[in-house]
């Protein structure tokens, strides 16, 4: 391992300096603005130059049902010609459907809200009695959709290239109307992640006249992984909001948004974004402009025609319930992304309950590249403050060695190296690539860590430093 200098592999996310989006008249992205490439993680990604324009054809239509006296229902369908998901710009259409329904009986009401799309589903049920509304939520998904994460609303390029784990969640929320213009909400959700330690998302919000705010925190085993907030103020047709997200490594994203509603014609939105992605390490300062054109046809109209209309009419507590359902889903999706990430801005996964799990994840991802290139890759497995495990980004070496640095300075501050990992390249007859070398074992013993090896024959080998035993504990991709 110690011969050649390290060469870190970088995962770069999508970057656009100017983004224009609308509902009616837009041109698609031209083919020459996209240049595909692959990193060592073999994740399909796309670069957009800082001067290119990304135009997305989005549409939203809705229809009301019910007698509008006791029963109030609404169906909202959103269409997107370009779906930005966890692996890039796919170009495939995406349709999501949201159903809201409430039934009122005096000052009491029963509520239902559900969302169905290609990569996420959720259901929310609740009851309003007097000034209080209690809501139970559940949902699941396979990626962190940019459409769902509406609470903090940062451009998806901050997450693009990062693969979150599949997730599900259950949550409970209580809302209370303190005064005619003052509403408070608080709740929490347990987020279950595939192969990870489950994080918990807690949130609270308030609304007073023209001012509103949302606050959330994501924790795991009592350790705070991330915090977020959003403050908004509306004055007539102008709405101003400030959003901030910060994780335990002090990676911070900030956004200032100015929205101007031009009556029934549409909305102009100006965004100033700045920060460093905790998922990919991408640093960006950008100014984004969007224009949402509103049109009406008999029986159907765009949901953006009048913001928060559900809160102005309908069953008791209906507006607050529908808004909170979106917030709950947004916070859960964000917690899923945070809980799946190392948090170090390196694109690496994290939150694994065991050292073996973290080592398998990184070796299974890099071993096919190592075999194809006949080159060694390596790095470290480490433990963070909440007791979960993650790994450093694989470092490229040569045909017979890789320098992964030392176990103290090569891992993030405040973490502890527990094991090394490396691959043995391709099936080269000059080397014994299916077993640990004596140098590998001696280095682990000297540095006081366990060792993991990925071989060209797909073996996942483990060296237990304390017992000296070497065992095959799995099979890797090749």
What domains appear along the chain, each with residue ranges and CATH number?
A: 12-339 (no CATH), 355-475 (3.40.140)
pLDDT in the model for residue 104: 93
Strands 223-235, 120-129: pairing is unpaired
pLDDT in the model for residue 87: 37
Res 364 pLDDT > 90: yes
- Alpha-carbon distance of 165 to 178, in angstroms, equals 39
- Alpha-carbon distance of 430 to 359, in angstroms, equals 26
In contact, 107 and 130? CB cutoff 8 Å? yes
Instruction: Supply the pTM of this predicted model.
Output: 0.76
Residue 150 pLDDT class (50, 70, 90 cuts): very low
Least confident of 48-57, 145-154, 178-187: 48-57
pLDDT in the model for residue 114: 93
- Alpha-carbon distance of 121 to 114, in angstroms, equals 7
Res 391 pLDDT > 70: yes
pLDDT tens-digit profile of 322-360?
888 888 888 888 888 889 888 888 878 899 999 999 999
Tokens 């999706």 belong to residue:
333
Region 60-72: mean pLDDT is: 85
CA-wise closest residue to 317 among 172, 76, 106: 106
Least confident of 125-129, 271-275, 367-371: 271-275
Distance from chain centroid for Cα 175:
26
Token pair, residue 308, equals 């928060």
Task: Identify the three-state secondary structure at position 327.
Answer: helix
> What mean pLDDT, rounded, does the chain reach?
77
CA-wise closest residue to 54 among 24, 84, 74: 84
Q: How many other β-carbons are positioned within 10 Å of the β-carbon of residue 81?
A: 16
Q: How many other β-carbons are positioned within 10 Å of the β-carbon of residue 216?
A: 26
b/e per residue, 363-396, with b = 16+ CB within 10 A? bbbbbbbbbeebbbbbbbbbbbebebbbbbbbbb
- Alpha-carbon distance of 155 to 151, in angstroms, equals 12
Region 274-292: mean pLDDT is: 76
Res 401 pLDDT > 70: yes
pLDDT tens-digit profile of 234-262?
988 899 999 888 888 888 888 898 988 87
In contact, 415 and 404? CB cutoff 8 Å? no
**Percent of the chain's residues with pLDDT above 90:** 45
> SS3 helix, strand, coil % of the chain, rounded to 5?
15, 45, 40
């Amino acid at each position: 391992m110690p011969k050649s200098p390290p060469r870190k592999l970088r995962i770069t996310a999508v970057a656009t300096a100017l983004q224009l989006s609308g509902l009616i008249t837009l041109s698609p992205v031209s083919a020459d603005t996209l240049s595909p490439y692959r990193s060592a993680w073999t994740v399909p990604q796309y670069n957009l130059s800082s001067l290119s324009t990304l135009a997305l054809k989005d549409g939203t239509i809705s229809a009301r049902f019910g007698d509008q006296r006791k029963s109030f229902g609404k169906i909202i369908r959103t269409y997107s010609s370009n779906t930005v998901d966890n692996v890039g710009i796919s170009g495939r259409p995406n349709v999501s459907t949201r159903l809201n329904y409430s039934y009122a009986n005096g000052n009491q009401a029963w509520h239902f809200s559900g969302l169905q799309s290609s990569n996420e589903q959720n259901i929310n049920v609740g009851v309003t009695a007097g000034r209080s509304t209690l809501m139970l939520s559940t949902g699941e998904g396979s990626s962190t959709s940019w459409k769902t994460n509406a609470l903090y609303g940062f451009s998806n390029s901050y997450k693009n290239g990062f693969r979150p784990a599949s997730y599900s969640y259950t949550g409970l929320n209580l809302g209370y109307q303190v005064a005619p213009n003052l509403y408070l909400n608080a709740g929490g959700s347990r987020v279950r992640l595939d192969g990870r330690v489950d994080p918990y998302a807690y949130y609270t919000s308030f609304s007073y006249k023209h001012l509103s705010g949302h606050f959330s925190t994501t924790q795991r085993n009592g350790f705070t992984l991330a915090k977020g907030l959003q403050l908004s103020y509306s004055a007539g047709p102008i709405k101003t909001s400030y959003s901030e997200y910060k994780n335990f490594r002090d990676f911070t994203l900030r956004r200032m948004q100015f929205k101007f509603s031009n009556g029934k014609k549409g909305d102009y939105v100006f965004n100033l974004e700045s920060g460093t992605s905790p998922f990919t390490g991408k640093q960006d300062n950008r100014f984004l402009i969007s224009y949402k054109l509103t049109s009406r046809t008999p029986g159907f109209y765009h949901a953006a025609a009048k913001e928060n209309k559900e809160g102005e009419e309908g069953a008791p507590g209906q507006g607050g319930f529908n808004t909170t359902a979106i917030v709950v889903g947004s916070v859960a999706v964000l917690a899923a992304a945070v809980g799946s990430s190392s948090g170090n801005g390196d694109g690496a996964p994290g939150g694994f309950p065991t050292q073996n799990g973290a080592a398998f994840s990184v070796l299974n991802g890099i071993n096919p590249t190592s075999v194809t290139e006949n080159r060694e890759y390596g790095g470290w497995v480490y433990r963070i403050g909440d007791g979960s495990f993650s790994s450093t980004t694989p470092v490229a070496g040569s045909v017979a060695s890789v320098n992964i640095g030392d176990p103290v300075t090569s891992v993030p501050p405040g973490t502890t190296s527990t094991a090394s990992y490396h691959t043995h390249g391709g099936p080269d007859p000059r080397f014994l690539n299916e077993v640990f070398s004596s140098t590998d074992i001696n280095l682990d013993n000297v540095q006081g860590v366990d060792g993991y090896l990925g071989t060209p024959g797909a073996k996942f080998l483990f060296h237990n430093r304390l017992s000296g035993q070497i065992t095959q504990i799995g099979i890797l991709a090749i």
